[in-house]
Structure 1
Amino acid sequence: MPTAHRSFFSPARFNRLLARCSVALFASAMIVAPASAERNTSFSYTDLFELEYAAAPRITPDGDAVVYERRSMDIMTDRTRINLWQVNLDGSNHQPLFSGKANYRMARFSPDGSKMAYLASHEGDNQLYIKWLDSGRSARVTNLQRSPSAIVWSPDGKWLAFTMFTPEPAKPLFTDMPKAPKGAKWAGAEQYIDSTLYRSNNGGYAKSGFSQIYVVPAEGGTPRQLTFEQSPIGGPLAWTADSSALILSADRHEDWELRPLESDLYRLDVASAELTQLTSKAGPESAPSLSPNGKWLAFLNVDDRKLGYQVSRLAIMSPDGKKQTLLTGNLDRSVNRYQWAADNSGLYVSYDDQGTRKLAFVSLKGDIKRLDVRLGGQSLGRPYTSGDFRVSDSGDIVFSQSDTKRPADLAVLTKRGKTRQLTHLNQDLLDHKPLAEVKIIKVKSSVDKRDIGAWVALPPNFDSSKKYPLILEIHGGPHAAYGPNFSAEVQLMAAAGYVVVWANPRGSSSYGEEFANLIHHNYPSDDYQDLMDVVDTVIAQGYIDSSQLFVTGGSGGGVLTAWIVGKTDRFAAAVVAKPVINWLSFALTADMYPYFSQYWMPGKPWEIADHLWQHSPLSLVGNVTTPTMLLTGEVDYRTPMSETEQYYQALRLQQVDSALVRIAEAHHGIAAKPSNLIRKIGNILAWFEKYQSKPAE
């Protein structure tokens, strides 16, 4: 769900709309249990607060350096802290631009290279600032009531445009409520809801209002509101070459709430605030970007066929929308991000392929040249695909580098074809710690002989002559992808003595539309057997104690974990995190129910009750004997707590050893707070430790 990132079932307005515990070592010649002997040197829970990673690079106007967001975990506020740092492309002069307790982010250089816009929160809410690069001075240019986003300079450098949520007065139905007597303590006011999309996973119950577009003078002044829409407007925004208009993405249809993947591109005249529709394709058109010479407007498009997974493709058109050309029609992969080449010859695009985020150059004729770049490292919890990049005018490519033992650092692929690492953000924390070795394993599905991408992490000081317990960790989505990427969860599990395996069963993204849609209206199904084939492949290596198998997964991985324990008793224990247990109830309680009911289901839930029940893990609960823990955030509206509690109560009625863990202040993205990520991993490992068979003394 929507994100990117990306967690459970993330269509992300299709791509955007569409990401341990210490235990004793038991004496046994051939069985190795998780140990605490290296607790002082191995990767530990407290290390999560020390991790850092690089994101959102922007190359300086002279092309010699890059400004980026240095993101770290703040142990005092339990949140991610974002500061702006700069490093030369030769790796020298690594220093902070803005650093401290406030968050500084979203650096944007002016077209003439003389100024840098950015957001800062050190005076309360996020405000827009300008830094003059010649003098080094900064000034606040807005006094906004809410945080702006999608900031973009006008080509003439005179204006900054942005989007901002703009509230509207609530309109209650009942207006004749008597006034409470002085000193009376009545219940609070009721909340009157008459919208279809009335709550969201990370936003709670929706406030009245929409994002609107504003412009503000680049030297400061009063922002001017240009739109007054009654439906969502999406960023990013793009200016026309003459700075007279903005290009935006929106669905202005009256029934927009029931059209979850629809949006078109519009031209917004800055002087008159008049909107002109440019596209009318089925599905979303989004992320507009004008070529440097102003001749072409690039955008992302999904050909909407109501499939569970649909590839997002790159297209270009004339700025008036009359001439359109699809550029990546031959690339059966979704384009994540893109950037125009400075010489207008084509565009650089990132896309996921077989569990890895890659980079390519696409010409204006649609020719694709794949580049030797592997992005990643920005998903700290689990090994999801991720990554940012930026290209200089001269052709140097700065990107977030992927490494199984490190979160994202910045690296540069020079125009001469050489790669140089620019930052070493976690060198001080991790260089002296033994970490898990990650290896690819080759798996053939017993269903249809398809190749299944899979990876295994071996504990530090691994000894192939011994037997280890195994954890199968299953990704969410289900249309998402794991890969050979850094994962704090995997490293902590391995540090506790487990072999950890993860895979991309059928339904995963990064293998094309056909592979992802093998589970269309059929989930879970043969993806279960793919995962069992992965486990069997690792056991065949000879270093796994087959009586010590454990399974866990979150979101879509929680669905499959519950399905697995309903199908087999081969696992010693399971942890089902933030799952869907009953598709019937989920269809009418999840925040994105208009999307799920149209794209994941062949009909409305009351029309297809038998179909939904046949794919619900709850239908198999009578088979379950595996000790099972349930773990979900208390304010998760994507896979609501009611799903978890249904399964917990069913397990208790079945007298299955079970437990329920409610994570405080957590929505679907439990890892949003570092302490909650620790609680998640710690509870998983504690549950597995509880059900390890202990060799006789």
Structure 2
Amino acid sequence: MSEEKRALTAEDFTRLEVYSDPRFTPGGEAYTYISTAINDKNEYESHLFHQKVSESKSSQWTFGNVKNSSPRFSPDGKKVVFQSNRSSIPQLWMLNTNGGEAKQLTFFKNGAVSPVWSKDGNYIIFHASLNQDDNIENQKELSKEERQKEKKDKENEPLVVNRLKYKSDAKGFHDHKRSQLILLDVENENFTQLTSADADHSFQDISPDGNLILFSANLNEDADYELISDLFTMDLKTKKINKLTCSDGAYHHAGFSPSGKKIACFGHGFTHKGATLNELYIFDIKTGERSTISEQWDMQLGDLMIGDTRLGESENGPVWSEDEDSLFFLATDHGATGLYQVSLNSELKVLYKDDNHVFGFSYDAGTNSFILGISTPTNPCNFYQLKQDDKLIRLTNANADFLEEVHLSEPETLTFTAKDGWEIQGWLLRPYDFEEDKKYPFVLEIHGGPHAMYGQTFFHELQLLAAKGYVVLYTNPRGSHGYGQEFVDACRTDYGGGDYTDLMSAIDYTLENYSFIDETRLGVTGGSYGGFMTNWIVSHTNRFKAAVTQRSISNWISFYGVSDIGFFFTEWEHGLNLLDDPAKLWEFSPLKYAENVETPLLILHGELDFRCPIEQGEQLFITLKHLRKDVEFVRFPGANHELSRSGKPEMRIERLNHICRWFDEYL
């Protein structure tokens, strides 16, 4: 049969509006959000929108080929502060809500980000990147020409490295600047530097009475060797700092209760290294006592859903109810994320959970209602109001024209049994213009992490492969979040073991239960950990006729020293560091088994990937090519580990086209 709607294309993600960061305005009558899109210059731009909950249309408040984000209303609702790169680097700007042009508030040389108002509206606290000897009183924003000259000068200087954490995939090579907390007196327009330690500080909240700020940092001498993140309070009058935690874990998304007597936060003590589930903690400000609300739960707090179009931040930590009797938060469970409520005696209630992805929320105590950001496999995003009576009211109609025009495949949820009896969840997409009596080629997609989750959210790459005529299977093998602590921990020290057999069991189950799949035309692809697993699969079985490995790991011995996380991730995931037992790390390395590879393999890698550096792809390519295997290597200039999600649009399109080309050629 013929579809009324057309098939999805690689370029179609450039037509999408992606919503994020819903925020009720004071009084709860309206809310703001950020919409990110790709403009006619093929660049990302983000704008602030405002909408009354009683109306169906929103108003755009910012314009131009710029990125605006983090809008925060003053307590009286008359002003909104936000960050914008309209002056070439992110700075803070202010809008009057009754109209007028935005006013630039900061002119810091390295920018200013993440503004938050004090509860009385007199101050704004934000982050600024500073050197130890910088004076905030004489900050001057560089012109475009001055910035280009500074960049060129740096390119001609050697990089002196004396720290273990000297680079990251997000920032590239680090300098000596640190993220410090700055207070802006709004009326007098002067600045006060609140923190100055040689550490990155992350603002969390300000107390209702305005006397204390809450921030996280690692202020220990051995911070360069640790992944600890402690919580601290600072008295704004005396600048006295009080440490709330004991350097026993990582604490984040912290906030004061409405009375200021308690603090709630997420965190964990690395009991299962990087696979540890978050806990929900409550701190008593007066006594310093800490209690754990989530001890009896076995689910991941927060949003761990993986997608490739979620541009913009929406993640929420625990949010207090007005009466301080309960907290609201998102959690990740069985391929979906939902909104939950918990009382202080640990009574858990699901406020909203369906077969979809709640990517953000905002709570208004006055109306006791929520704004939910929701994505589904066939709808990238929309906002809804959730009222007291559990009634869900859609507020936006994002991407309506696109959705009317383009066919998207509705996933079928399946559950199969692994070799050791564990239940594994997955989803199957039928191809465009599907006919039951035809045979179709098949692609297995493997997510990265490995401690993340596929699920009920919009995923352009998966839909594209279905549009190109492939049956697409994506699963959550052991190691994935959403199925409890034992499950997410189960792949550690066993890469290529149970996780591999889970995926093979998924293939066996699918072929047995879906007669329209051509078992002679199977493909496999994945990125990061999914790239490692793709490499492992093609070096341990020849059942696949084509494979695409993306930003992958091929050699754990070299990964230890070249990745921005290798020095701790290797021990986290394999239970040992390089010098503990290099021979054992070699056993886990797909490169060791390169002679076994018979599957045509396409290797995709970003030149500036510091998470899984490009030498991982190079080693695999040279080895396979030297062995005269069928292999091709595509290197993406200027791209880091996030190429598939937030890379340059033209590079993202090229990547997708290469994936489709390879599968079309061999399947």
TM-score for both structures, normalised by structure 2: 0.91
In structure 2, what residue type is equivalent to 1:280? C
Cα distance in 2 for partners of 1:690, 1:220 equals: 66
1:57 maps to what in 2?
22
Q: Which string of whole-angstrom CA distances, capped at 9 and with x for unpartnered residues, describes residues 479-499 of structure 1?
A: 110002211101111111111
Q: Which runs of 5+ in 1 are unaligned?
A: 1-31, 171-184, 378-385, 693-697
Alpha-carbon spacing, 1:591–1:196, altered in 2? closer, same or farther (3 Å): same
Q: Which string of whole-angstrom CA distances, capped at 9 and with x for unpartnered residues, describes residues 164-220 of structure 1?
A: 2113579xxxxxxxxxxxxxx9x9332211111111112111111211110001246
1:239 maps to what in 2?
206
SS at match of 1:409: strand
Work out which of the residue numbers 163, 169, 187 in structure 2 matches 1:195: 163
Alpha-carbon spacing, 1:663–1:509, altered in 2? closer, same or farther (3 Å): same
Cα distance in 2 for partners of 1:346, 1:148 equals: 34
Alpha-carbon spacing, 1:321–1:493, altered in 2? closer, same or farther (3 Å): farther
1:13 maps to what in 2?
none
Q: How much does 1:334 deviate?
A: 2.5
Cα distance in 2 for partners of 1:217, 1:506 equals: 51
SS at match of 1:567: coil
In structure 2, what residue type is equivalent to 1:683? H
Cα distance in 2 for partners of 1:221, 1:198 equals: 35
Q: Which string of whole-angstrom CA distances, capped at 9 and with x for unpartnered residues, describes residues 325-348 of structure 1?
A: 211122222222321122322111
2:343 maps to what in 1?
363
2:52 maps to what in 1?
88
Structure 1 stretch displaced more, 475-484 or 306-315: 306-315
Q: Which string of whole-angstrom CA distances, capped at 9 and with x for unpartnered residues, describes residues 335-393 of structure 1?
A: 2232112232211110110121111001111111012235966xxxxxxxx71111111
2:530 maps to what in 1?
557
In structure 2, what residue type is equivalent to 1:372? Y
SS at match of 1:437: coil
1 or 2, which has the higher helix percentage? 2
* Correspondence list, 1:589-608, <5 A: 589-608=562-581
In structure 2, what residue type is equivalent to 1:205? F
Q: How much does 1:461 deviate?
A: 2.1
1:17 maps to what in 2?
none
Alpha-carbon spacing, 1:460–1:527, altered in 2? closer, same or farther (3 Å): same
* Correspondence list, 1:382-401, <5 A: 387-393=359-365, 394-401=367-374
Q: Which runs of 5+ in 2 are unaligned?
A: 135-152, 303-316
Cα distance in 1 for partners of 2:236, 2:652 equals: 45
Whether the aligned pair in 2 keeps the contact of 1:493 and 1:500 (CA below 8 Å) is yes
* Correspondence list, 1:197-276, <5 A: 197-219=165-187, 221-235=189-203, 237-260=204-227, 262-276=228-242
Cα distance in 2 for partners of 1:324, 1:136 equals: 47
In structure 2, what residue type is equivalent to 1:482? Y
Cα distance in 2 for partners of 1:371, 1:680 equals: 39
Cα distance in 2 for partners of 1:486, 1:231 equals: 37
1:515 maps to what in 2?
487
Cα distance in 1 for partners of 2:78, 2:353 equals: 31
Cα distance in 2 for partners of 1:293, 1:341 equals: 11
Whether the aligned pair in 1 keeps the contact of 2:264 and 2:318 (CA below 8 Å) is no
In structure 2, what residue type is equivalent to 1:243? G
Cα distance in 1 for partners of 2:195, 2:133 equals: 17
SS at match of 2:61: strand
* Corresponding residue pairs, total: 631
Alpha-carbon spacing, 1:197–1:563, altered in 2? closer, same or farther (3 Å): same
Structure 1 stretch displaced more, 515-524 or 134-143: 134-143
1:478 maps to what in 2?
450
Cα distance in 1 for partners of 2:570, 2:447 equals: 22
* Correspondence list, 1:304-453, <5 A: 304-305=270-271, 307-320=273-286, 322-336=288-302, 337-374=317-354, 387-393=359-365, 394-445=367-418, 447-453=419-425
Cα distance in 1 for partners of 2:4, 2:628 equals: 36
Q: How much does 1:401 deviate?
A: 1.2
1:69 maps to what in 2?
34
1:460 aligns with 2:432: yes
1:664 aligns with 2:628: no
Q: How much does 1:524 deviate?
A: 2.4
Q: How much does 1:94 deviate?
A: 1.7
Whether the aligned pair in 2 keeps the contact of 1:247 and 1:267 (CA below 8 Å) is yes
Whether the aligned pair in 2 keeps the contact of 1:216 and 1:222 (CA below 8 Å) is yes
SS at match of 1:424: coil
In structure 2, what residue type is equivalent to 1:682? N
Cα distance in 2 for partners of 1:223, 1:338 equals: 30
Whether the aligned pair in 1 keeps the contact of 2:45 and 2:67 (CA below 8 Å) is yes
Q: How much does 1:273 deviate?
A: 2.7
TM-score for both structures, normalised by structure 1: 0.87
Work out which of the residue numbers 251, 260, 278 in structure 2 matches 1:294: 260
Alpha-carbon spacing, 1:75–1:168, altered in 2? closer, same or farther (3 Å): farther
